[in-house]
Structure formats: C-alpha cells, structure tokens
Amino acid sequence: MPHKVTIMKHLDELTDECRDVGACNTIFFRESPDGRRIFCGTNTDVIGVRESFRQNVDDPAAVYENIPALVIGGGGAARSAVYALRNGLKATDIYLVNRDESEVDAVIAECTRRGYGQGLRHVKSVEQAAGLDSPGAIVACVPDIAPQTEAEKVARAVVETFLGKEQKGAMLEMCYNPTPFTQLGALAESYGWQVILGTEALIYQGIEQDRYWTGRDAKELPGDKIRQVIAARLARPSHT
C-alpha cells in the first residue's frame, strides 16, 4: 500500500483473483521445476471484505444480499471491494463515491473489462444519491481524514445522503490505522448503521495471507487467538 496496482507489472504470475481485481496486496514465492524463484501475486483483500460481512451480519438476506451496495474510494482496495460485493456477497448495483472522478472511471473501466463491471454507478451528487435505493453493504476504502477540498466535501455529503436513508445496513470501515474508530464510522453509527471495524478485514485477509506463506490450511492457523489479541488491544484505553 499504496502500490497495489503498480506492483503487478513486476510479478511473474498472478492468481485468477488478483488478475480479475486488478490489484495485488500479497506477494508469495514458488519454485519452478528448474529451481528458479517465481514471484507470484494474489489479492486477499477480497477475502477480508467478504468474511467481514459474513462473520458479523446475522441476517445477510435481509441486510445486503440482492440489494445495492456502496463503495467509497477509488484505489486498489475499492476494486477488491467491488469484486467481493459482486462475487461473494450477491450485491446488485454498486454505487461508487469518490473525490476523484478519473479514479472512478478507471475502476469502472477495469471492472468492466474483467467481466464484473455491470451495474457500477458513479454517484456524483446529493441529488443523484437521493433518488437511488439504499445500499445494504457499504465498504469505505478511504483514509480517516476530514474532508478539506470541495470535491471531498461533496463526496462526504453524498455518503451522508445514503446513510440517512430509512433502510439501514452494515458498513465495513477498511481504515484501521492509527485506529479503527474513524470519523466516518462514527457518522454511520449515528445514523443507525452497523459498523464493522477494519480490524475484522485485517484478520481474515491475514489468515489467507498466512495460508499462502506457510502452506497450512486456514483451519490450522490460530484464528481464535488472533481475534483475542486484537480484541484485547482494542479494549485498551486510548492515550491519544
């Protein structure tokens, strides 16, 4: 991060998922028959997004399945979110909100070229958002920084319009550094949304990374211990 897209041209092989998403967050090695080290790329963010919703939402059919979704951002993580929402969480239309229109255009073009760009909509204004159905799943893929520029303020107003709709769902806040308790997460909670912390995505994508690095099955890895350690860390009082 933030080189999930540019790293791909330097790798020897890509997994199907990495190639389809158009972003790589994990590098692993394998050895060719002649002993040469092969640099391989995959994408575990997709697993992190998918499992964060599956493991934390009690009634998927009512909350996010066969319902529009919303992705906030336009980078590599946003591509992973679109892929996970489309192929793992049964989203219908996917709304895209971002301060930079060219980034959204690139996401839509690439997802379309790779076969899962149907129903992607760039929502540019409050008026446009007001006329659309409420999303069930929201994935926020932007830093925890208060809007400063006019474009950032418009994007935040569009997001707030979706949050204010009568039908509520669940939002995964992918930002977890320096804290998973973000301004956007607090805003979503104030509107009555279930907020899933970015540390949840970190757990599930991390287990998937270890599977590639160690060769062990996910069930062999200490998932419960990881959750306990992160929960204990989050329970500590903040000194900031």
Cβ-proximal residues to 120 (8 Å cutoff; 6+ apart), any chain: 82, 93, 94, 96, 107, 108, 111, 112
Q: What is the pLDDT of residue 240?
A: 46
Q: What is the pLDDT of residue 190?
A: 98
Q: For 186-210, give the DSSP string.
A: HHHHHTT-EEE-HHHHHHHHHHHHH
Residues 80 and 23 sit within 8 Å (Cβ to Cβ): yes
Separation of alpha carbons 137 and 91, rounded Å: 8
Residues 114 and 22 sit within 8 Å (Cβ to Cβ): yes
Q: What is the pLDDT of residue 204?
A: 93
Q: What is the pLDDT of residue 34?
A: 94
Separation of alpha carbons 97 and 193, rounded Å: 18
Domains of the chain: 50-167 (3.40.50.720)
Separation of alpha carbons 55 and 30, rounded Å: 31
Q: What is the pTM of this model?
A: 0.90
Q: What is the pLDDT of residue 74?
A: 92
Per-residue pLDDT of the chain (240 residues; tens, 9 = 90+): 678 889 999 999 999 889 988 889 999 999 999 999 999 999 999 999 999 999 999 999 999 999 999 999 998 789 889 999 999 999 999 999 999 999 999 999 989 998 899 999 999 999 999 999 999 999 999 999 999 999 999 999 999 999 999 999 999 999 988 899 999 999 999 999 999 999 999 999 999 999 999 999 888 888 889 989 988 888 876 544
